[in-house]
């Protein structure tokens, strides 16, 4: 069964609609996409948020991290995705070192918005608050990203679960509240204990989108290649292959939507626990 009401298929989703879904307790479905064809398919199947992720550095370009991805490449893929979408809400990633100053953040965010994004995503905590305020003032909606932040993989010492200790969890919660107060309207939580994902989601008015952050987030996101069993290398704990049990991409996406909406995904085996 598809959760998409076909009569609403051509009504574009907005951040207000996503806020309403959270308020009503309806889970938000999200996948990454990097081209018009997959974006159109996900849009038609009923995916509500399409993230044009800098994960393209891994799954499209073959890099070991997202760090080599440029703002020009992000703008190109954002434009490709936007051409395929009629309904879904599009978020574009600001890549590594593209927001080292407020002026750079405004310039590069404007480029993504002009390419078709409806919101930009940036990784980091309270130190970004002034930047978030300025972007919001300029009419650029912001999605924060806390927990495991892939652009900081060298600082973090690898792709490690974050927020496992009480002090680390407290810092992530404080960062989440600060970003919301600064004007962020959405928050991605990656690779944190499920209990922390639930705590942050309850504390915020804005929706949270989890990827390895437990079932209590306002919604879930996966890299499309992971959801379709095409992940290179070691499979992260929070990944589930929806293609293997279904046999077609369309059925896989339908199953993903159903399991996110019902709360069946992520299951305990996809989640992390605190120390």
**How does pLDDT run across 57-80, given as a tens digit for each residue?**
999 999 989 999 999 999 999 999
93 annotated as a binding-site residue: yes
CATH homologous superfamily of domain 12-270?
Phosphoenolpyruvate-binding domains (3.20.20.60)
Give the CA-trace dihedral at 214, 53, 148, 232, to 10 degrees. Answer: 90
- Of the residues 48, 180, 190, 259, which is catalytic? 190
Residue ranges of alpha helices (H) inside the chain are 15-23, 36-45, 56-59, 71-84, 102-115, 129-137, 153-156, 166-182, 194-203, 224-227, 249-262
Q: Poorest-confidence range of 9-18, 123-132, 257-266?
A: 9-18
b/e map 236-264, b = 16+ CB within 10 Å? bebbbebbeebeebeebbbbbbbbbbeee
Specify the pairing of strand 89-93 against strand 208-211.
unpaired
Give the model's confidence band at 9: pLDDT under 50 very low, under 70 low, under 90 confident, else very high. Answer: low
Q: Which helix (H) or strand (E) holds 190?
A: strand 186-190
What's the average model confidence in pLDDT over 115-140? 98
* pLDDT tens column, 247-256: 999 999 999 9
* Assigned token pair, 170: 């407290």
Active site residue 190: yes
43 annotated as a binding-site residue: no
What's the average model confidence in pLDDT over 49-62? 96
35 annotated as a binding-site residue: no
User: For residues 52 and 253, what is the distance between their CA atoms, to the nearest angstrom?
Assistant: 17
Q: Is 139 exposed, middle or buried (0-12, 13-18, 19+ CB in 10 A)?
A: exposed
pLDDT at 38 over 60: yes
121 annotated as a binding-site residue: yes
261, 29 in Cβ contact below 8 A? yes
pLDDT on residue 5: 45
167 annotated as a binding-site residue: no
* Assigned token pair, 91: 């978020």
Q: Where do the structural domains in the chain lie, given as residue ranges?
A: 12-270
pLDDT on residue 189: 98
User: For residues 32 and 24, what is the distance between their CA atoms, to the nearest angstrom?
Assistant: 24
The overall pTM is greater than 0.75? yes
């Amino acid at each position: 069964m598809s959760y998409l009401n076909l009569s609403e298929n051509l009504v574009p989703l907005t951040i207000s609609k996503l806020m309403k879904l959270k308020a009503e307790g309806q889970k938000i479905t999200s996948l990454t996409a990097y081209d018009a064809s997959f974006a159109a398919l996900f849009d038609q199947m009923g995916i509500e948020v399409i993230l044009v992720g800098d994960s393209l550095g891994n799954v499209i370009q073959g890099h070991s991290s997202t760090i080599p991805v440029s703002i020009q490449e992000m703008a190109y893929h954002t434009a490709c995705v936007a051409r395929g979408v009629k309904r879904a809400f599009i978020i574009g990633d600001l890549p590594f070192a593209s927001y080292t100053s407020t002026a750079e953040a405004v310039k590069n965010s404007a480029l993504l918005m002009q390419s078709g994004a409806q919101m930009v995503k940036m990784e980091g905590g309270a130190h970004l608050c002034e930047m978030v305020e300025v972007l919001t003032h300029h009419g650029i909606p912001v999605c924060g990203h806390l927990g495991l932040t892939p652009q900081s993989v060298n600082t973090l010492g690898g792709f490690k679960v974050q927020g496992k200790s009480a002090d680390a969890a407290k810092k992530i919660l404080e960062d989440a509240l600060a970003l919301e107060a600064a004007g962020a309207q959405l928050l991605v939580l990656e690779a944190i204990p499920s209990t922390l994902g639930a705590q942050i989601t309850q504390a915020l008015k804005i929706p949270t989108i989890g990827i390895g952050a437990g079932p209590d987030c306002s919604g879930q996101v996966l890299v499309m290649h992971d959801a379709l069993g095409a992940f290179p290398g070691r499979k992260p704990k929070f990944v589930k292959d929806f293609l293997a049990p279904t046999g077609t991409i369309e059925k896989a996406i339908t199953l993903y939507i159903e399991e996110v909406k019902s709360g069946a995904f992520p299951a305990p085996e996809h989640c992390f626990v605190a120390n």
